[in-house]
Amino acid sequence: VNLILIEADEVNEDGVATLTDVRADHARSVLRVTPGAVIRVGIVNGPMGTAEVLSVGPFRISTKSFRAAATPERPRVDLLLALPRPKVMRRLWAQLAALGVGRIILTNAGKVERDYFDTHLLQPEVYRPLLLEGLQQARDTRLPEISVHKQFRKLVEDELDRIEPWGRRIVTDPSATSTVRAALAGASHSDRVLLAVGPEGGWSDFERDLLAGHGFMEASAGDRVLATTTACVALLTLAHDALREDRER
């Protein structure tokens, strides 16, 4: 943990938050903070800065210095992901949040098993702590927005343009000749990037055509066939890297 995240409603009117859960344990036993120490703290979906430790038992911190702190920018990259099996999804939440993603759109597809949608991992009270874990690793406060869609066609045809303003859309395929970088060349700063990652068995021809018809360009992250977790990490990394260089140019 490289940042301790607190909820806005945990801060009282004096700017003091009292933490009693694993965050307090972590600060005491791993960070070994003592009263007077200054630690990195963020407010979920809010500013990130430093807070002063007032006491360690109970664990109380003052966020008075937060008046000057800035809220991190929302990551510009979003993910449209064919729902993987629960075991994979469990590990993915924190990794996606750590890499930085503005929105995660989970969808059905021909090669997604229907019962994957029954998992408790799609319930906010289960995935939210996993997302927070990733943010605390990466030092970010912006929780990705999550939506779950059981009908791929309805999602792409009727819902997507409303959920995700049209920006750059990429669907990945190891046989594509364009790189992610090339597909993002010249993206404007207000363009959001949406990366579509298919199920382990790949998109069907129908699904691929539907995506192509809704603005998704094919690109690849190399010619190797990657499992879902590795593919998501690789693609988010490449997209952020392309946007980063673009910003620095």
Contact region for its own copies (CB under 8 A) — 43-51, 53-61, 160-168, 236-244? 236-244
Q: Contact between 237 and its own copies (CB under 8 A)?
A: yes
Contacts 24+ apart (CB under 8 A), 65-70: 66/15, 66/41
Contact region for its own copies (CB under 8 A) — 42-50, 55-63, 207-215, 217-225? 217-225
One DSSP character per residue, the chain reads: --SEEE-GGGB-TTSEEEE-SHHHHHHHHTS---TT-EEEEEETTS-EEEEEEEEETTEEEE-GGGGGPPPPPPPSEEEEEEPPPHHHHHHHHHHHHHH--SEEEEE--TTS-GGGGG-GGGSHHHHHHHHHHHHHHHT---PPEEEEES-HHHIIIIIHHHHS-SSEEEEE-TT-SSBHHHHHTT--TT--EEEEE--TT---HHHHHHHHHTTEEEEBS-SS---HHHHHHHHHHHHHHHHHHHHH-
Q: Which CB atom, from 212 or from 225, has the smaller least distance to its own copies?
A: 225
Residue 27 Cβ vs its own copies, minimum distance, rounded to whole Å? 16
Q: Pairing relation of β-strands 193-197 and 168-172?
A: parallel
- Out of 83, 99, 171, 183, the only residue in the binding site for its own copies (CB under 8 A) is 99
Contacts of its own copies in 23-62 (CB under 8 A): none
- Out of 140, 170, 207, 211, the only residue in the binding site for its own copies (CB under 8 A) is 140
From the list 16, 68, 71, the residue with the least C-alpha distance to 48 is 71
Contacts of its own copies in 141-200 (CB under 8 A): 179-181
- Out of 137, 163, 167, 187, the only residue in the binding site for its own copies (CB under 8 A) is 137
Q: Which CB atom, from 149 or from 240, has the smaller least distance to its own copies?
A: 240
Q: Contact between 240 and its own copies (CB under 8 A)?
A: yes
Q: Contact between 100 and its own copies (CB under 8 A)?
A: yes
Residue 135 Cβ vs its own copies, minimum distance, rounded to whole Å? 10
Contacts of its own copies in 67-96 (CB under 8 A): 91, 95
Residue 91 Cβ vs its own copies, minimum distance, rounded to whole Å? 8
User: Would you tell me how many other CB atoms lie within 10 Å of the CB of residue 136?
Assistant: 22
Q: Which CB atom, from 46 or from 72, has the smaller least distance to its own copies?
A: 72
Q: Contact between 245 and its own copies (CB under 8 A)?
A: yes
Residue 244 Cβ vs its own copies, minimum distance, rounded to whole Å? 6
User: Would you tell me how many other CB atoms lie within 10 Å of the CB of residue 78?
Assistant: 25
Which chain residues interact with its own copies by CB under 8 A?
2, 91, 95, 98-100, 137-140, 179-181, 221-222, 224-227, 229-230, 233-234, 237-238, 240-241, 244-245
